[in-house]
Chains A and B, each alone.
Chain A
Amino acid sequence: NAGVMQNPRHLVRRRGQEARLRCSPMKGHSHVYWYRQLPEEGLKFMVYLQKENIIDESGMPKERFSAEFPKEGPSILRIQQVVRGDSAAYFCASSPVRGNEQYFGPGTRLTVT
Protein backbone atom coordinates (compact mmCIF):
# COMPACT_ATOMS: atom_id res chain seq x y z
CA ASN A 1 0.00 0.00 0.00
CA ALA A 2 1.66 3.20 -1.19
CA GLY A 3 0.05 5.41 1.42
CA VAL A 4 -1.78 8.67 0.87
CA MET A 5 -0.52 10.40 -2.25
CA GLN A 6 -0.64 14.11 -2.85
CA ASN A 7 0.34 16.02 -5.95
CA PRO A 8 1.89 18.25 -6.77
CA ARG A 9 4.29 18.44 -3.83
CA HIS A 10 5.09 22.05 -4.62
CA LEU A 11 2.88 24.48 -6.49
CA VAL A 12 3.62 28.08 -7.39
CA ARG A 13 0.81 30.34 -8.53
CA ARG A 14 0.54 34.04 -9.27
CA ARG A 15 -2.15 36.07 -7.55
CA GLY A 16 -5.49 35.58 -9.28
CA GLN A 17 -4.72 32.14 -10.70
CA GLU A 18 -6.38 28.89 -9.72
CA ALA A 19 -4.73 26.15 -7.65
CA ARG A 20 -5.79 22.50 -7.83
CA LEU A 21 -4.45 20.12 -5.20
CA ARG A 22 -4.97 16.38 -5.55
CA CYS A 23 -5.18 13.67 -2.94
CA SER A 24 -5.37 9.92 -3.53
CA PRO A 25 -6.35 8.12 -0.32
CA MET A 26 -4.92 4.81 0.76
CA LYS A 27 -6.43 1.78 -0.89
CA GLY A 28 -9.67 0.83 0.80
CA HIS A 29 -10.11 4.24 2.44
CA SER A 30 -13.27 6.13 1.59
CA HIS A 31 -12.92 9.04 4.05
CA VAL A 32 -10.76 12.04 3.16
CA TYR A 33 -9.83 15.06 5.27
CA TRP A 34 -8.06 18.26 4.21
CA TYR A 35 -6.00 20.39 6.59
CA ARG A 36 -4.09 23.65 6.08
CA GLN A 37 -0.92 24.65 7.90
CA LEU A 38 0.04 28.31 7.79
CA PRO A 39 3.65 29.22 8.66
CA GLU A 40 4.43 28.77 12.37
CA GLU A 41 0.99 27.34 13.09
CA GLY A 42 -0.54 23.91 13.64
CA LEU A 43 -2.71 22.08 11.13
CA LYS A 44 -6.25 23.40 10.84
CA PHE A 45 -9.17 21.30 9.63
CA MET A 46 -10.80 22.42 6.41
CA VAL A 47 -13.16 19.76 5.10
CA TYR A 48 -14.18 16.11 5.49
CA LEU A 49 -15.49 14.15 2.52
CA GLN A 50 -16.68 10.70 1.67
CA LYS A 51 -17.13 9.49 -1.88
CA GLU A 52 -19.36 12.02 -3.69
CA ASN A 53 -20.37 13.72 -0.42
CA ILE A 54 -19.12 16.63 1.66
CA ILE A 55 -19.73 15.66 5.27
CA ASP A 56 -18.24 18.63 7.15
CA GLU A 57 -16.92 21.81 5.55
CA SER A 58 -16.94 23.91 8.70
CA GLY A 59 -13.26 24.84 8.27
CA MET A 60 -13.47 25.96 4.66
CA PRO A 61 -13.25 29.67 3.87
CA LYS A 62 -16.61 30.87 2.57
CA GLU A 63 -15.31 32.04 -0.79
CA ARG A 64 -12.88 30.77 -3.43
CA PHE A 65 -12.33 27.36 -1.82
CA SER A 66 -14.09 24.15 -2.85
CA ALA A 67 -13.48 20.43 -2.46
CA GLU A 68 -14.75 17.30 -4.09
CA PHE A 69 -14.23 13.55 -3.86
CA PRO A 70 -15.76 11.96 -6.94
CA LYS A 71 -16.78 8.36 -7.33
CA GLU A 72 -13.69 7.75 -9.44
CA GLY A 73 -10.37 9.52 -9.05
CA PRO A 74 -8.67 11.58 -6.39
CA SER A 75 -10.08 14.18 -4.06
CA ILE A 76 -9.50 17.73 -5.31
CA LEU A 77 -9.08 20.89 -3.27
CA ARG A 78 -9.61 23.88 -5.53
CA ILE A 79 -8.65 27.45 -4.71
CA GLN A 80 -9.83 30.10 -7.13
CA GLN A 81 -8.22 33.52 -7.53
CA VAL A 82 -5.41 32.78 -5.10
CA VAL A 83 -4.05 35.49 -2.82
CA ARG A 84 -0.76 35.68 -0.90
CA GLY A 85 -2.52 34.61 2.29
CA ASP A 86 -3.31 31.24 0.70
CA SER A 87 0.40 30.35 0.79
CA ALA A 88 0.57 27.36 3.10
CA ALA A 89 1.08 23.62 3.31
CA TYR A 90 -2.07 21.66 2.53
CA PHE A 91 -2.32 18.16 3.96
CA CYS A 92 -4.71 15.40 3.07
CA ALA A 93 -5.50 12.45 5.33
CA SER A 94 -7.59 9.35 4.81
CA SER A 95 -9.20 6.71 6.99
CA PRO A 96 -11.07 3.48 6.29
CA VAL A 97 -13.99 4.39 8.52
CA ARG A 98 -15.05 7.51 10.37
CA GLY A 99 -13.37 7.92 13.72
CA ASN A 100 -10.48 5.65 12.88
CA GLU A 101 -6.83 6.65 12.65
CA GLN A 102 -6.14 9.23 9.95
CA TYR A 103 -3.17 8.56 7.66
CA PHE A 104 -1.52 11.68 6.29
CA GLY A 105 -0.06 12.46 2.93
CA PRO A 106 3.23 14.35 2.45
CA GLY A 107 1.45 17.63 1.80
CA THR A 108 1.39 20.19 -1.01
CA ARG A 109 3.25 23.41 -0.40
CA LEU A 110 1.47 26.25 -2.20
CA THR A 111 3.33 29.49 -2.80
CA VAL A 112 1.47 32.48 -4.17
CA THR A 113 3.67 35.14 -5.76
Chain B
Amino acid sequence: AQRVTQPEKLLSVFKGAPVELKCNYSYSGSPELFWYVQYSRQRLQLLLRHISRESIKGFTADLNKGETSFHLKKPFAQEEDSAMYYCALSGIDQGAQKLVFGQGTRLTINP
Protein backbone atom coordinates (compact mmCIF):
# COMPACT_ATOMS: atom_id res chain seq x y z
CA ALA B 1 0.00 0.00 0.00
CA GLN B 2 1.08 3.56 -0.66
CA ARG B 3 1.23 5.96 2.25
CA VAL B 4 2.60 9.47 2.80
CA THR B 5 3.13 10.90 6.27
CA GLN B 6 3.70 14.54 7.13
CA PRO B 7 4.23 14.50 10.89
CA GLU B 8 3.75 18.24 11.45
CA LYS B 9 0.32 19.77 10.88
CA LEU B 10 1.62 23.21 11.80
CA LEU B 11 5.09 24.72 11.51
CA SER B 12 6.02 28.25 12.45
CA VAL B 13 9.44 29.84 11.87
CA PHE B 14 10.83 33.35 11.77
CA LYS B 15 11.72 35.13 8.55
CA GLY B 16 15.31 34.38 7.58
CA ALA B 17 15.42 31.12 9.52
CA PRO B 18 15.88 27.73 7.84
CA VAL B 19 12.79 25.68 7.07
CA GLU B 20 12.39 21.93 6.86
CA LEU B 21 9.05 20.27 6.19
CA LYS B 22 9.17 16.55 6.79
CA CYS B 23 7.72 13.88 4.53
CA ASN B 24 8.04 10.13 4.88
CA TYR B 25 6.56 7.58 2.55
CA SER B 26 5.79 3.91 2.33
CA TYR B 27 5.76 2.19 -1.06
CA SER B 28 7.22 -1.10 -2.19
CA GLY B 29 7.67 -0.16 -5.85
CA SER B 30 9.37 2.74 -7.64
CA PRO B 31 8.02 6.01 -6.27
CA GLU B 32 7.92 9.45 -7.73
CA LEU B 33 7.68 12.15 -5.06
CA PHE B 34 6.21 15.64 -5.31
CA TRP B 35 5.69 18.73 -3.19
CA TYR B 36 2.52 20.73 -3.87
CA VAL B 37 1.80 24.15 -2.36
CA GLN B 38 -1.45 26.01 -1.82
CA TYR B 39 -1.16 29.73 -1.10
CA SER B 40 -4.07 31.55 0.49
CA ARG B 41 -7.08 31.71 -1.87
CA GLN B 42 -5.17 29.99 -4.68
CA ARG B 43 -5.37 26.54 -6.18
CA LEU B 44 -3.01 23.69 -5.47
CA GLN B 45 0.12 23.92 -7.62
CA LEU B 46 3.20 21.82 -8.11
CA LEU B 47 6.27 23.15 -6.30
CA LEU B 48 8.77 20.49 -7.28
CA ARG B 49 9.18 16.83 -8.19
CA HIS B 50 12.16 14.70 -7.36
CA ILE B 51 12.94 13.55 -10.89
CA SER B 52 13.47 17.10 -12.13
CA ARG B 53 15.98 17.92 -9.39
CA GLU B 54 15.14 21.61 -9.66
CA SER B 55 15.22 24.29 -7.00
CA ILE B 56 12.00 26.29 -7.06
CA LYS B 57 11.64 29.52 -5.06
CA GLY B 58 14.73 28.48 -3.10
CA PHE B 59 13.19 25.15 -2.03
CA THR B 60 14.93 21.83 -2.55
CA ALA B 61 14.02 18.26 -1.69
CA ASP B 62 16.13 15.13 -1.94
CA LEU B 63 14.68 11.66 -2.19
CA ASN B 64 16.30 9.41 0.42
CA LYS B 65 15.29 5.86 -0.43
CA GLY B 66 17.10 4.43 2.59
CA GLU B 67 15.08 6.54 5.01
CA THR B 68 12.04 6.68 2.69
CA SER B 69 11.94 10.44 3.08
CA PHE B 70 11.50 13.48 0.86
CA HIS B 71 11.92 16.45 3.17
CA LEU B 72 11.44 19.97 1.79
CA LYS B 73 14.09 22.52 2.75
CA LYS B 74 14.83 26.19 2.34
CA PRO B 75 17.83 27.89 3.96
CA PHE B 76 16.20 31.30 4.55
CA ALA B 77 12.42 31.54 4.91
CA GLN B 78 10.49 34.47 3.45
CA GLU B 79 7.07 35.74 4.50
CA GLU B 80 5.60 34.82 1.11
CA ASP B 81 6.42 31.17 1.83
CA SER B 82 3.50 31.03 4.26
CA ALA B 83 1.15 28.42 2.77
CA MET B 84 -0.16 24.88 3.00
CA TYR B 85 2.34 22.28 1.76
CA TYR B 86 1.46 18.76 0.65
CA CYS B 87 3.84 15.92 -0.05
CA ALA B 88 2.55 13.41 -2.62
CA LEU B 89 3.61 10.13 -4.18
CA SER B 90 2.80 8.25 -7.34
CA GLY B 91 3.95 4.81 -8.42
CA ILE B 92 6.12 4.90 -11.54
CA ASP B 93 5.67 1.16 -11.91
CA GLN B 94 1.88 1.62 -11.77
CA GLY B 95 1.87 4.08 -14.63
CA ALA B 96 2.11 7.12 -12.34
CA GLN B 97 -1.62 7.62 -12.40
CA LYS B 98 -3.00 8.62 -9.05
CA LEU B 99 -1.35 10.81 -6.43
CA VAL B 100 -1.32 9.80 -2.78
CA PHE B 101 -1.15 12.87 -0.55
CA GLY B 102 0.01 13.46 2.98
CA GLN B 103 -2.19 15.41 5.38
CA GLY B 104 -0.35 18.63 4.74
CA THR B 105 1.72 21.06 6.81
CA ARG B 106 0.63 24.65 7.34
CA LEU B 107 3.77 26.77 7.28
CA THR B 108 3.67 30.21 8.86
CA ILE B 109 6.60 32.59 8.50
CA ASN B 110 6.67 35.19 11.25
CA PRO B 111 8.15 38.63 10.50
Contact residues, B19-61 vs A (CB, 8 A): 36, 43-46, 49
Size bracket of the A interface: 20 to 34
Question: What are 26 of the A-B contact pairs (CB < 8 Å)?
Answer: A4-B43, A33-B97, A33-B98, A33-B99, A35-B99, A35-B101, A41-B103, A42-B102, A42-B104, A43-B86, A43-B101, A55-B97, A58-B98, A91-B44, A98-B95, A98-B96, A99-B90, A99-B92, A99-B95, A99-B97, A102-B46, A104-B36, A104-B43, A105-B43, A106-B43, A107-B43
A residues contacting B by CB (< 8 A) are 3-4, 33, 35, 40-45, 48, 55-56, 58-59, 91, 93, 98-99, 101-102, 104-107
By DSSP majority rule, is chain A's interface helix, strand, loop, or mixed? loop
| Contact indicator B95/A45 (Cβ below 8 Å) | no
| Contact indicator B97/A56 (Cβ below 8 Å) | yes
Interface size on B, residues (CB 8 A): 21
| Contact indicator B100/A45 (Cβ below 8 Å) | yes
Residue of B6, B46, B90, B99 contacting most chain A CB atoms (<10 Å): B99
| Contact indicator A99/B96 (Cβ below 8 Å) | yes
| Contact indicator A48/B44 (Cβ below 8 Å) | no
Q: Which residues of A contact B86 (CB under 8 A)?
A: 42-43
Give the distance to chain A from B86, nearest Cβ to Cβ, in Å.
6
